[in-house]
Structures are given as structure tokens and as C-alpha cells.
Amino acid sequence: MGNISLVDNGFLLTESQNSPKHVACLQVWELPKGKGSAWLRGLLADLKEHPAGFPFNQKLQYKIPLQPELVTDRAIDMDYHVRHTVLPHPGDDEQLWKMVARLHANLLDRERPLWEFHLIEGLANRRFAFYTKIHHALADGITLNRWFTDAGSKDSSEHDTLPIWHGEKIRPKASKKEPGYARLLGESIRVFGGSIRTALDMTTLTIRLVNGRLFAKNRDITLPLAAPRTPLNVTTGSARALTAVSFQLEDVKAVAVAQGVTVNDVLLTMVDLAIHRYFTEKGSPLEDALVVYMPVNLRTENDRERGNLVSLLQVRLSSKLSDPLTALHEIRRSSRTAREVFSGFGKPAIQLYSLAVALISLFEESLKLSKFLPPVQNLVVSNVPGPRNMLYFRGAKGVHAYPISTLPPLTALNVTANSYAGQMNVGLVAGRTVIPDIDRLAEHIGIAFTDLVALT
């Protein structure tokens, strides 16, 4: 049994039918030589025999309203959690993404452990896929990537590879029981197990943000409720549109090195250019610079526990999109400023600030205040490092690993990049009512990168 931390519980509190809060990965594999449908069905049957370890064997228990605990499920129904899907002929990538979009739109059952695994058979060119989703309250993208890496093998001849849910993941260190939400304001320092520094950090951080933006007039600093109104900032339905676009990681790094920026800056610029071009093509050009939520990893090499250790920084994108290289350097300056604003503060204060900002969007959506207040952010863009080496699963070669994330309230687009074996796979998740032709947006991301390469 263990407590759900305040930050992790934020993903449970902000979840709704139209805004599920699970993260996922779509892995595409090549069948081993000489293997076919019978081998896949045998694989599925074998995987179901492997017991689930922590946290895959945990379900929610509410002894106190709105403050759940994790308890071990002694009777996990593996037929429910481990499922089989067969794509109809011809089994192309478009069919795969439409299938995964339907799976991703569904909430996880809170009466059971919060995860699902789908083996998808019938892909063209002797391929199959694993689609795995787990609630964000149990893992962030960094953790999920590490579990997938541990579940794979660098050796194609290894045939006893274990599924991601097998074995006990490292538990967080034991801590004192967290106080209830009624006492949260008075005991926020104790919630995070910190000291008076947490309160001081929060005060100093707020002063730094307000002073930099309002008094120093630094446009690279973004305050909550300062993003422009765009077609992306609406309450989406539950339907999702998914796709992905892939690049060679060395090509992206080459642009970054040549321009003296980071890979993340290149990603932000590609996405920024693509969104503006997409909506201009639709006849609804965006007039102002967009504001993105950019998750930043707070983990160190020694942080091996489950749960979430991320902060969400607000980064202002470019206002000079006619010149992609000028836009790239403007975004570089803005993202660097955002990091500098939060530098020097403890993790508890940064996470508490991120949670407070995230709850603003929830209240804005639930209280229907979007007509009167500007949005907190326009979209989410993140970059998660993944395995550097090619992985195998019982002889099957891992071809792609695509990240599939979640949508915050009043935000209809999430773009998450994940590196894998020399590739940079960029996964797009959108509200289907807002961006029904998401493949076109992905094409614009590819065109934007081609422009950056040519100019570099």
C-alpha cells in the first residue's frame, strides 16, 4: 500500500471523459523469420501467464475523498488487461493509427489497475504492434521509456524476454502519510516533505516571474493566462486523432549544432512553423506568438522511483515565422529564459507551481470561463529521450517506438518526440473535432524541418 503524491494525484483530479490522463507507447515490430500468426497467438497466451508487479498490480482505494491510496489487487484479470486485435486487410499504417486513436480515447477503469496492453496483429510487411497505456498518476514518459528499455533485449537471439508489467518496479522511498486536502494550504510544506525553503521558493519564484514580465518587460517570460486565443483552445470531445512523423536523429542534431541551439529548440521551431502554416492553409491564420507547455525532466541519474518528477514550463514561441532561422533563435532565447527563471529552486516548489498552473486550466474549463479569460497555454510540446540501441522482443525486431501522450484541459494538441535507435519519432495527439486531418499537420512538420535543413 502507498500514497499517491499530490503531483501524481493531479492527473486523477484533472481527468474527465473528454480529457483522459493516460500516457502510452506504440511499438512496431517485425516478425522473426519464419514466424506468423500462430507464433503471435502463442506469444499472447504466454504473456498473460506472467504476473503483474508493482505498480501494474496496484489499484486505487479511496478512504478519504479525493485522496486515493494504492493497494495490491490480488485477483487481476489478465484477460482484461492483455488484449488482442487484428487489423483488416491491407493492414496499413493509416488503419493502425485509427485503431490506436479509438483505444486511446477510452478512460482506464478505476476499479482495476490503471493499465492496458494491446497486441495488434495484421500489419503489412510482416509487422505487428504493442500499444501500452498506463495512467499518468503511475508513471511519466521518462519512467515509461525506462521500463520499455528494460523489457526489451539488445540480443535478437534472446527468446525469454519478459513483458513490461512483469516484476516489481522500484518503489519510492517510504515517507510520512500526506495530509488531507482540507489541510493542504496550511501544510503544503509538509506534503512535499520539505522545509521552510519550499514556501520561500514559491514566493521568490512568483516575484521573479511578475517582476520579469511586468516591470522588466521581458517578453520571453510568460505568465499564466497570457497565451493568445486560438482554435486549439477549446473543450475537445473524447475522440482523438493520432499520427506520427519520423526523422533521423543525427539530421536534427546537425541542424542544432550548426545553429548553436538544442534539439528541443529545433523541435519547437518545427512545430511552431507547422501549426501556423496549417491554420493559414485552413483560412484561419494565427496572429500572435503561441505559448507552449514544455515538460522538463527534474530527475537525476539517481532518481529511479516511479511517479512523476517533471515540471511544466511555459515557453513563448516565435513572432517572426517568415524567417525560420530567426524563429529558431527567438525560440532558443525564450526557452533558455524559461529555464533560467526556474533555476535555483527546489523540486517541491517547481512542482507545486506547475500543479497550480495546471489547475487553472481545469477551473477555466469546468467553470466555462474560457469566454472571459485567455488560455494558460496553446499546446504541449515535449521531448523524451529513449533507447539508443535497437531492441528485440523474443526475436522480433523493434522498428519504431512512438510516444502517445495526453491533452490538458482546453488544449487540443500535444506533440511528443521520442528518440529510438537513431530515430526521432514525433507523436501527435489532437482532439479530432479540432484537427481531423492530423496527417496534414504532420506533413507540415516534415516540410518545416526540410526548410531548416536547407537554410542551415
Q: For residue 136, indicate whether it is catalytic.
A: yes
Amino acid found at 16 = S
Coil, helix or strand for 314? strand
Q: What is the pLDDT of residue 116?
A: 97
Residue 394's pLDDT is 95
Q: Which of 81, 136, 276, 400 is catalytic?
A: 136
Phi then psi for 152, rounded to 5 degrees?
Answer: -95, 180
Please report the pLDDT score of residue 176 as a whole number. 45
Q: Which of 317, 322, 331, 327 is nearest to 289 (CA)?
A: 317
Tell the residue number behind the cell numbers 486515493, with chain if given.
68
pLDDT, mean of each 10-residue run, the chain (456 residues): 72 84 95 95 96 95 88 95 95 96 95 97 97 92 85 91 87 45 42 54 63 60 79 90 97 97 96 97 93 69 47 82 93 86 68 72 74 87 91 96 90 95 96 95 98 94
| Cα 124 from Cα 218, distance rounded (Å) | 52
Write b or e for each residue in 392-426: b if 16 or more Cβ atoms lie within 10 A of its Cβ, otherwise e: bbbbbbbbbbbbbbbbbbbbbbbbbbbbbbebbbb
Question: Residue 363 has what pLDDT?
Answer: 73
Q: What is the pLDDT of residue 67?
A: 85
Residue pair 198/189 in contact (Cβ under 8 Å)? The answer is yes
pLDDT computed for residue 435 by the predictor: 96
Which CATH number is correct for 188-381+422-455, 3.30.559.30, 3.10.450.50, 3.40.50.2020, 1.10.275.10?
Answer: 3.30.559.30
The residue extents of the domains of the chain are 188-381+422-455
pLDDT value, residue 153: 93
Q: Could you say which DSSP state residue 395 is in? A: T
Nearest Cα to Cα of residue 21 among 308, 292, 288:
308
Q: Is 388 exposed, middle or buried (0-12, 13-18, 19+ CB in 10 A)?
A: exposed
pTM, to two decimals: 0.85
CB neighbours (10 Å) of residue 271? 25
| pLDDT at residue 314, rounded to an integer | 82
| Beta-carbon contacts of residue 418 (< 8 Å; ≥ 6 apart) | 25, 141, 145, 383, 384, 385, 386, 401, 402, 403, 424, 425, 426, 427
Whether the Cβ atoms of residue 144 and residue 164 lie closer than 8 Å to each other: no
- What are residue 15's phi and psi, to 5 degrees? -80, 140
63 in Cβ contact with 70 (< 8 Å)? no
